[in-house]
Structure 1
Amino acid sequence: MSIRGPEALASLDEAMRDIRREEEEITRRLARSAEKLGKIRENEAELFRQLAQLRLDPAVQGELDGTISAAENKARDMLKAHAKDLSKAEKDVAGIDAALARLTADRAETLKAFEGHQAELKALAAKLGDRIAKDPEFAAKRSRATELADVAAQSMRKTEQAETDRDEKGKPYRDDPLFIYLWEAGYGTASYRANNLIRYFDGLVANLVGFQKARPNFAMLNEIPLRLREHAERQIENAKAAEAEVDTLEMAAIDTAGGKPIRQAMEASQKKIDALDAEIVAAEDQRDETAKTLGVLSQGGNPALEGALNELATALGREDIQTLLAEARRTRTGQDDTIVAQIDDARARAREEQGETREQNERLKTLAARRRELEDIQWEFKKQRFDDPRSTFRDEKLVGDVLNDFLRGGISAASYWDQWRRSQNWSAGTTDWGGGVGLPNNGRQRSNSPWPEAGGNTFNWPDSSFGGGGGSSKSRSKSKGGFGGGWGGGSSGGVFSRPRTGSVGTRKHSGFKTGGGF
């Protein structure tokens, strides 16, 4: 059973809300734990004060009580100030979450409006298909565009095969350290630079591995894919230019038939969606920074507070206090035993709280990492226009078991996103015009459309937008090795292009898909 793009994105949004809710719950637990630890320390100080009253003479007791009380008062004051800072940070995060909820809801409503305009335009396009398809100029341009697209597709297939051959057939060369040493040194070429002694030994090595015969073969393996890709890219540009001419005719037909207001309404919705996406990214980055601050505060990570609590812990760890406790343990009196047991209990509870805090801290770090990865996936999802109403996904488990597996850390963000890409399809008759609309294809195949039609080819323009945050959504890469031909730079291991703090960024795209194309 398939799932539509908008519903898929809504499921990711819900998963994001779940992560944020759990983050908030953990920070609340950490805050309660930090507060509890402070109170345990205060209680421990009071117990030592009581023990001192029982066992020490007034002079020593007064000195010890003064030391403990000073540290205790300072810690209490800092706890109050810390609580205010913590409360403010919690309100800040809650406020950003509320803003994100509003932005997400607004985006969903705008997408619904876009889908409505899309349906209107498709209905209008259906009435025009037969008429414009019979126009001689359109037929000629359509035929030329299809022909060039087929040439581009064939060129790209040859390029990919050559690149596969390079990877497979070149492996024995690359695995030979002596051959690669000579190759990288430029041996046998004008770029080779070495003194006479090195040249002599390199010559021996070259004879040993048969370098003179092997070098031209390896050079050819590397050179052919480069030349083929250059040729394929030229053919792709030619096909795009021809398709743009067809788009212009289709657009004019739609506008003449009264579709311009609908198309403009769609474009307005698209602009609003893009603006909302930019706001969402900015809000997410703001939340990330605020959540970090809240996390630090909830763990008691206030320097002044830490200093005060450490000072109290130091006071309670003084040698004379430890001696007092040791002597109380050696003597068996009812009052001593009760206070000592209470001190032991307080320290045990403190250790439990500290252990729980460590576990919650690790969980919070995991959640923060997962949230950022999901933000990356959502960004790419929108950038690729996978939330378009005409986008569908064959595997509904992507919002079920597979999503849960990702959230649990069973699969990486890169793997999860790749499953989305491989599962994605465009509904029959969907095409991309760089903001235009499409009409029914009347039996023809629009083989160069990056949005596959029923019965058409599925050639996709190579995409250079990943890893750099640019490019058109017309450019969908199926190349091996990741987005844009590589897995270089960026977050989450270099797979994603979402801008981070300090750069809201934009998605350069061609707009949502609207109709069927002639």
Structure 2
Amino acid sequence: MELNVRSGREVGRVLERAVEQVRQRLSAHADGIRELDAEMNELIAKRSETLVELARYYLPDLKPETIQGSFVEVRAELLDLLSQKQRRQLELQDQAAGASREVEHQDAELDRVTDGLNAKVAEREQLEALVAERLHGTEEFTTLSQQALVAEQELNRNEARVTDIQKDAKEKLPSYERSRLFKYLYDAGYATGRYQAGGLTRRLDRWVAKMIDFESARRGYDFLRTTPELMKQEVSRRRDRFNELMQQVEAIEDRVSDEVGLTEVLRVGQQLGADRDRLVAAVAAAQEGVQRLRQQIAQLEGQQNEFYERAIARMKAFLEKLPEARLERHSQSTPQRDDDALVAEVSQIGERLDAAEGRGAELGQARVAWDERFNGLQELLQRFRQAEFDSQRSMFPLQLDAGDLVEQLIAGRMSTQQVWSTLQSSQRFAPAWHEQQGPQFGGATAGDVSMVLLKVLAEVAGAAMQHSAGRGMERRGPVRRQTRQATGRPQFPNRGFTNGRGF
């Protein structure tokens, strides 16, 4: 890792801590909303009980037993709705808690796998350099490599010739086939042992042959018909020779890789890479599931849910039969003081309910705001991981303040996309071992290619045959992939351990 840079792993930790802090803030909000919900339920129940007591005192003309019966009916309905809501809340909370635990478990597993993967990447880099050094020092490898490169050059040259002659044949043979005079003489076997004509026919055929220069035309025709196939046979022979030499070269590389431990590092690293790709996708899916559950819970804790609306409608219908103003007037016209206290209590409870409802609205708004921040941070972290910016090879400039970016996002001064764009524009990957010096091949060698062997072959080849090294590795890619798969050796997919560039 270079000096004056910040590792992607460090920046990733900042994002992870921010997500956890906001998650705890959301949990505290949820606790506050639940406590307020319980307080409001208690106040509503107490208000209802007080109204029944007032009905017993001063509304004999409304038949208290009827009111009490009606209240018992509505109370049962309200309690049933409350019970349904609470059961659904508990169900969702249990699901969310389980899903959150699973996310935490997967996050911890992802951290473990990523740490292990970073370690294997470092080992791979060191061992690849060691393998390259040993291959350079092996006389047999150097000799076979040079022979293989020469064979590839000849193979490439012959392939080009076959392509040219096939093109010529495709363009020129039809003109021979369309010439009736030429085809007549050729099919008759003129100027060969097959020719049987005599007398006048022979004299006329001789005259026609001279007129169309049949001998020259026949040589050209035979050349175009037979040469492409002969050259293809030569190409096949040269291809077999090239493959034979490359098999020996690859066998030496495999032996050295086994000796220094690179083969095992590749095997373990590729398994860790597959585990990480799977975990990144699983964590993202699990977080989305938790987010959906939190949204459902928040809806139940607010006023925009079916249980609350049904309860309000039923309570309103009942309370409309018992207006507080009428109760107050009736209370003031009586000498007893007990009813005054009850009416005052109803009024106080109403005020407390209004205040609680106001606090609930504030908590709900705050919850929505923190939900948005949490979702934005989660999306940012998911993108960061999917791009493999949390790799140890991932680098950011020291002046990038990840903590400040997080604060800007939480405060609403930057959007998730703006923060992500800032991270993207600042990030770069440290070059892998094979990219640091010597010949470079860009994206021309995609597939199951050993970058160690490619780099060493290119160095053995020198500038004159560097292209032969690249072409040779391209030719051998599919064959070597099948061979390694059949023998249980690790592959060389995407030049790394994962689907991205980080590992």
- Shorter-chain TM-score bucket reads 0.5 to 0.7
Q: Which runs of structure 2 are paired with 1:480-491 in the superposition (5 Å)?
A: none
Contact 2:277-2:499 at 8 Å conserved across structures: no
* 3-state SS in 1 of match to 2:428: strand
Q: Decide which of 399, 419, 433 is 2:402's aligned counterpart.
A: 399
Contact 2:6-2:397 at 8 Å conserved across structures: yes
Q: Decide which of 31, 55, 60 is 1:57's aligned counterpart.
A: 60
Once the 2 structures are TM-superposed, how far is the Cα of residue 2 of structure 1 from its aligned partner?
4.2
Looking at structure 2, the residues matched to 5 and 251 of structure 1 have their Cα atoms a distance apart, in angstroms, of: 37
Distance change >3 Å, CA 398–CA 91, structure 1 → 2: farther
* 3-state SS in 2 of match to 1:392: strand
- The match for 2:413 is 410
Residue 424 (str. 1) matches residue 427 (str. 2): yes
Once the 2 structures are TM-superposed, how far is the Cα of residue 105 of structure 1 from its aligned partner?
0.6
Looking at structure 1, the residues matched to 292 and 272 of structure 2 have their Cα atoms a distance apart, in angstroms, of: 30
- The match for 2:365 is 362
- The match for 1:468 is none
Looking at structure 1, the residues matched to 124 and 250 of structure 2 have their Cα atoms a distance apart, in angstroms, of: 12
Once the 2 structures are TM-superposed, how far is the Cα of residue 383 of structure 1 from its aligned partner?
2.4
Residue 271 (str. 1) matches residue 274 (str. 2): yes
Once the 2 structures are TM-superposed, how far is the Cα of residue 346 of structure 1 from its aligned partner?
0.7
Once the 2 structures are TM-superposed, how far is the Cα of residue 21 of structure 1 from its aligned partner?
2.6
* 3-state SS in 1 of match to 2:392: coil
Residue 19 (str. 1) matches residue 22 (str. 2): yes
Once the 2 structures are TM-superposed, how far is the Cα of residue 13 of structure 1 from its aligned partner?
2.1
* 3-state SS in 1 of match to 2:63: helix
In structure 2, what residue type is equivalent to 1:355? G
- The match for 2:283 is 280
- The match for 2:342 is 339
Contact 2:303-2:309 at 8 Å conserved across structures: yes
In structure 2, what residue type is equivalent to 1:97? S
Contact 1:92-1:290 at 8 Å conserved across structures: yes
In structure 2, what residue type is equivalent to 1:25? A
Q: Give the % identical residues.
A: 17
- The match for 1:10 is 13
- The match for 2:38 is 35
Once the 2 structures are TM-superposed, how far is the Cα of residue 115 of structure 1 from its aligned partner?
1.5
* 3-state SS in 1 of match to 2:391: coil
Contact 2:36-2:360 at 8 Å conserved across structures: yes
Contact 2:120-2:269 at 8 Å conserved across structures: yes
Contact 1:398-1:420 at 8 Å conserved across structures: no
After superposition, the C-alpha distances for 1:20-66 in whole angstroms (9 at most, x for unaligned) are 23223323322332232222112111112222233222653333232
Residue 104 (str. 1) matches residue 107 (str. 2): yes
Residue 352 (str. 1) matches residue 361 (str. 2): no
Contact 2:273-2:498 at 8 Å conserved across structures: no
Contact 2:277-2:498 at 8 Å conserved across structures: no
Q: Which runs of structure 2 are paired with 1:25-174 in the superposition (5 Å)?
A: 25-57=28-60, 59-128=62-131
Residue 317 (str. 1) matches residue 317 (str. 2): no
Distance change >3 Å, CA 320–CA 352, structure 1 → 2: closer
Looking at structure 2, the residues matched to 14 and 330 of structure 1 have their Cα atoms a distance apart, in angstroms, of: 65
Once the 2 structures are TM-superposed, how far is the Cα of residue 111 of structure 1 from its aligned partner?
1.0
Structure label with greater radius of gyration: 2
Looking at structure 2, the residues matched to 397 and 420 of structure 1 have their Cα atoms a distance apart, in angstroms, of: 8
Unpaired runs of 5+ in structure 1? 142-248, 432-437, 451-507
After superposition, the C-alpha distances for 1:443-480 in whole angstroms (9 at most, x for unaligned) are 55859589xxxxxxxxxxxxxxxxxxxxxxxxxxxxxx
Contact 2:9-2:392 at 8 Å conserved across structures: yes
Once the 2 structures are TM-superposed, how far is the Cα of residue 299 of structure 1 from its aligned partner?
2.7
- Between the two proteins, the alignment pairs up a number of residues equal to 340
After superposition, the C-alpha distances for 1:312-355 in whole angstroms (9 at most, x for unaligned) are 23312336554223443677863233222211211111111111
Distance change >3 Å, CA 319–CA 52, structure 1 → 2: closer
After superposition, the C-alpha distances for 1:104-157 in whole angstroms (9 at most, x for unaligned) are 11111111111221121222233345677898989xx9xxxxxxxxxxxxxxxx
Distance change >3 Å, CA 394–CA 58, structure 1 → 2: same
- The match for 2:393 is 390
Contact 2:6-2:396 at 8 Å conserved across structures: yes
Once the 2 structures are TM-superposed, how far is the Cα of residue 419 of structure 1 from its aligned partner?
1.8
- The match for 1:484 is none
- The match for 1:257 is 257
- The match for 1:215 is none
Once the 2 structures are TM-superposed, how far is the Cα of residue 12 of structure 1 from its aligned partner?
1.6
Looking at structure 1, the residues matched to 387 and 136 of structure 2 have their Cα atoms a distance apart, in angstroms, of: 30
Looking at structure 1, the residues matched to 266 and 388 of structure 2 have their Cα atoms a distance apart, in angstroms, of: 18
- TM-score w.r.t. length of structure 2: 0.60
Distance change >3 Å, CA 345–CA 3, structure 1 → 2: farther
Distance change >3 Å, CA 85–CA 447, structure 1 → 2: same
Distance change >3 Å, CA 381–CA 59, structure 1 → 2: closer
- TM-score w.r.t. length of structure 1: 0.58
Unpaired runs of 5+ in structure 2? 150-248, 445-496
Shifted more, 121-130 versus 102-111: the winner is 121-130
Looking at structure 1, the residues matched to 251 and 390 of structure 2 have their Cα atoms a distance apart, in angstroms, of: 24
After superposition, the C-alpha distances for 1:416-466 in whole angstroms (9 at most, x for unaligned) are 112212322333xx23xxxxxx3473x55859589xxxxxxxxxxxxxxxx
Looking at structure 2, the residues matched to 16 and 377 of structure 1 have their Cα atoms a distance apart, in angstroms, of: 10
In structure 2, what residue type is equivalent to 1:348? E
**Bigger proportion of residues as helix:** 2
In structure 1, what residue type is equivalent to 2:93? E
After superposition, the C-alpha distances for 1:373-413 in whole angstroms (9 at most, x for unaligned) are 22322222122211111112224764322212211212111
Once the 2 structures are TM-superposed, how far is the Cα of residue 102 of structure 1 from its aligned partner?
0.6
Distance change >3 Å, CA 44–CA 267, structure 1 → 2: same
Distance change >3 Å, CA 330–CA 446, structure 1 → 2: farther
Once the 2 structures are TM-superposed, how far is the Cα of residue 370 of structure 1 from its aligned partner?
2.2
In structure 2, what residue type is equivalent to 1:393? F
| Cα-Cα RMSD | 3.5
